[in-house]
Chains A and B, each alone.
Chain A
Amino acid sequence: MAQKVLDAVKASHAAAIEHTESQHGDEIIWVKRDQLLAVATWLKTEPTMAFDAPVFCTCIDRLDWRPLGVPPSQRWTEDKPRFEVVYQLRSTQHRFRIRLKVAVSESDARVPSLASLWPAFDWQERETFDMYGIRFDGHPDLRRIYLYDEFVGYPLRKDYPKDKRQPLVRRDDLPINPIKRPSIFDDHGKAK
């Protein structure tokens, strides 16, 4: 169905596409990061595409991703970019569905923001920033949305310790008050 979209994007933006794939009936376009805004603008404004409904924006952390049944060449390794930023779009007019993916590395976790095209992505990008620490360039108001400002680190990254809590208040009369104890974690969430 959305194979049409894949073909059209390949024809018009051949230089911006890394590769395309289909998974479980969903078509995926891997876009080069600096071309993402151009491709997205085209998808929205081109009348034969008319992607008017933003569905979600999220991120996948591929750290230590070693699934069974996947050839080793496709698995995450040190030299591959660690994060995949995912945008899912929908065209209510033509009933197309498409997924845009951008690969970003840990040291340079930045992606152009699509909040100017679809305002609904504003909060979704803030959530992705909150949980994964992806910076969205050009976002109007990029700050934490769920967590408090005192929170250090990004909890859905795979290297965040799974039971590390960052309490705001604790009772003074408890024998162990973790706020008063020196933390056993450093600023990056690693054990000292």
Chain B
Amino acid sequence: MGVELTTTRLEDAAKWAKSSMLDKATGWGRKFSLFSYPFVTACCGMEFMSVAGPKYDIARFGAEFPRFSPRQSDLLMVVGTVTEKQGPALKRVFDQMAEPKWVIAFGVCASTGGFYQNYHTMPGADQVIPVDVYIPGCPPRPEQVLDALILLMDRIQSGRGHSQLRDKREQLIATSQDEG
């Protein structure tokens, strides 16, 4: 079967060099026009504001525009502690976003639950939705956020975001079923 899934960044780079001009162009376009949906639930929101503000200025990377409707955004930023009670809301926001979509877990609370180990905190947003990039820190420094954004842009360009990979997987499965 001709099923190959990319695994390392080096392989990605090699694939990318071979990929068609159209793929490169859409990847390039996508990575510089991220519209983010800030799902801000706790103290990390302060740091999110500073990243979005003029000093650190996330707008330099084309992700400046927070949209407060999931329909209009393609980057979900889970900023802060997610409780079990919020789980259905988070899942619903993610489901409403149009494909392709990416998710950043901002801060240790959104990544793993952080220092909360109790009845009400979800141990990481990835219990409910697939997360592309995790940012450690309580709260993370703005530089870390920018670093994560660049990492994500890398992945978008090479088509390794969660939703992009799922698309590829489904295509591969469909073609291999056609062949078989």
Contacts and interface: CB of A to CB of B under 8 A. Distances in A.
A170 B128 contact: yes
A167 B120 contact: no
- Chain A: interface size category: 10 to 19
B85 A147 contact: yes
A155 B130 contact: no
A154 B171 CA distance: 47
A169 B118 contact: no
B90 to A, nearest CB: 8
A149 B119 CA distance: 14
B85 to A, nearest CB: 5
Contacts of B29: none
B119 A167 contact: no
B127 interface: yes
B84 interface: yes
B62 interface: no
Interface of B: 84-85, 87-88, 91, 117-123, 126-130
Nearest to A166: B84
A169 B88 contact: yes
Nearest to A173: B130
Contacts of A167: 84, 87, 122, 127
Contact of A155 (B119, B127, B129): B119
B111 to A, nearest CB: 15
Given A147-B85, A165-B84, A171 B129 contact: yes
A148 B85 contact: yes
A184 to B, nearest CB: 15
Given A155-B120, A160-B119, A162-B118, A168 B127 contact: no
